[in-house]
Amino acid sequence: MTTASISCAIDRNDASIPADTYCSRKDEQRLQQTAEDRDATEYRNPLMNFFGSNNTQRLDHDEIELDDIRVLSFVSREREPEFDDCPEYSYDSDNENTSQDDYHVTHGSDEADEVKSLQTYILGKKYHPVNDYTLRREDEISLFWFTYRCDFPEMKPYRIQSDAGWGCMLRSAQMMVCQVLRLHYKSRTWRPPKSLAARRQDPFVRRLMTWFADFPSTTECFYSFQNMVAAGLNYDKLPGEWYGPGTVSFVIRDLVAMHDQQRQEFGKPLFRVHVASQGTVYRDEIRRLMIQGAVTAVLTSGQSASRPRAAHPLDHAAWEEDRLEKVPDWDTALLLLIPLRLGLKTFNLDYVRPLAHTFSLPQSVGVLGGRPRGARYFYGAFSDGSKIFGLDPHTVQAAPQRASVSINGELSSVIDLSDNYLRSIHTADPESISLEKMDPSITLGFYCENERDLQFVFESVQQWKRTHPGSPELFTTANYSPDYAANVSSTMKKIMLSSSSLIDTEDDQISDEDDYVML
């Protein structure tokens, strides 16, 4: 075998087949040129110069250092190590030769009935795999796609201007948050305008693209990549480090809280985020979170409230409990994030169908997860759990730029919504993989407009468990969270009393001479 034939066989990733039977010198040159073109596409970003307009410019405030961005953690800095301290989102050489053929699922004759009833679940909608294919594709293309970016303002002092190779989980989180904002301010059936000119003029699209533009800002670009990295510092994540779905859930929570404190968008209060970090959702924690605005309004209002007659005059707790009974229901919507680990090193196949079932719920906003090669935003699955559909952020595109425009005679800086930038936020090529190929670390997302939606999620999960007795539960629910500090005083008192009695008994048997030691 000649040297040319050997190299060609290696290029085809099948050295076991004699290269002389199918590979010529010309084929080798063609494959080598194809490989060079592919490398240029993947590593020499073809969109590097698509913002070539002279009307765009960087402004002085692009030089903000990362440490100047303050994103507060409103609950706790603690995170769950089992969801994040694992290398599932690093490149895995063991799976280097994984091909799409590995994801093909065949069905035997005994599964014919199930194949006929196969459905595609896309964020709460159900599509027939053949009859509704066009509708499904339109739904998928309307999803917002956030990818690696290059040439954004430098993160000082880290000298980082691109997140290629490490920011895939943060980009996946941006996709989920964008879908939630779309549901919150529009609806599930809303679609962005088809023409680029109409998109550029649409108030919601303009605001949405500003929120996610890659610029450090606590008053405008709330969900920018820089803000996410700044929030990650609260959880011991430095720029350039991989994120897991558990840590990024807390990052989402903190940025939404920051956005909520700044302003009210479109005349509607922002949703709140609850992270069920222990794999169990506690109803009392959610209720305290969702009525906190109403509680504040009631407790600070001047309305009179009658004291319960049985309460002691100094028992203010009983008085306030009586007032809180009149507090209305939720005052805004909820984004429920549930970090889970469905297996040790590999995905537990028992969870395949239960996870696929969650995409059929109207409250589903997808799953943050990944494969050994990187993170993904998963938005749908086949009903039998054979395939899962996701958006892959591993494409490097140029970061958006700012432009100076005149508004009412005053020069202002806005995000330049160029045609190329608007085209870069959608894709017609989603990814389809075998669900069992997923990494076991994931985060479930549910958007609940009210308490009835939350109850529907719980009942649907329980109903699935009842109709599939051998299927495990993805997560559990409880009415009250455990109070690990409860009864500590009484327990300590019992310990002290028992210790005192023991000491007293021993003292009776010890003489006074033993109380002191002569040194």
Which residue intervals of 96-189 are DSSP H helices? Answer: 112-116, 133-141, 168-185
Total number of domains constituting the chain: 1
- Indicate whether 347 belongs to any domain: yes
| Encoded tokens for 508 | 């009776």
- Indicate whether 514 belongs to any domain: no
- At residue 485, the pLDDT reads 67
Mean pLDDT by 10 residues, the chain (519 residues): 39 39 42 46 34 36 52 49 42 39 40 66 94 94 97 92 96 98 95 94 94 92 96 95 95 96 83 93 94 62 47 52 59 96 92 95 96 90 94 96 81 89 94 90 96 96 91 92 70 62 50 49
Rounded distance, CA 469 to CA 503, Å? 55
- Is the separation of the CB atoms in 120 and 126 below 8 Å? yes
- Indicate whether 512 belongs to any domain: no
- Indicate whether 63 belongs to any domain: no
Specify the pairing of strand 410-415 against strand 402-407.
antiparallel
- At residue 341, the pLDDT reads 94
- Indicate whether 235 belongs to any domain: yes
- At residue 219, the pLDDT reads 87
- Is the separation of the CB atoms in 368 and 173 below 8 Å? yes
- At residue 326, the pLDDT reads 55
Angle between helices 245-262 and 225-232 (to 10 degrees): 110
Q: Assess whether the previous peptide bond of 472 is cis (omega < 30° from 0).
A: no
| Encoded tokens for 157 | 């002092």
- At residue 69, the pLDDT reads 58
- At residue 266, the pLDDT reads 81
- Indicate whether 81 belongs to any domain: no
- At residue 495, the pLDDT reads 64
Rounded distance, CA 445 to CA 276, Å? 11
Amino acid at 263: R
| Encoded tokens for 221 | 């670009």
- At residue 165, the pLDDT reads 93
- At residue 10, the pLDDT reads 34
Rounded distance, CA 366 to CA 377, Å? 7
- Indicate whether 285 belongs to any domain: yes
- Kindly write down the DSSP assignment for every residue of 152-175, as one continuous string: EEEETTTTEEE-TTT-HHHHHHHH
- At residue 408, the pLDDT reads 75
- At residue 314, the pLDDT reads 55
Helix (H) or strand (E) holding 51: none
- Own/partner pairs for 464-468, CB < 8 Å, 24+ apart? 464/354, 464/357, 468/353, 468/354
- At residue 109, the pLDDT reads 43
Rounded distance, CA 335 to CA 363, Å? 9
| 3-class SS of residue 271 | coil
Q: Which domain holds residue 460?
A: 132-295+329-478
Segments of 43-130 assigned E as strands: 120-122, 125-127
- The rounded Cα 207 to chain-centroid distance in angstroms is 21
Q: What is the pTM of this model?
A: 0.72
Angle, alpha carbons 38-44-48 (nearest 5°): 130
- Indicate whether 189 belongs to any domain: yes
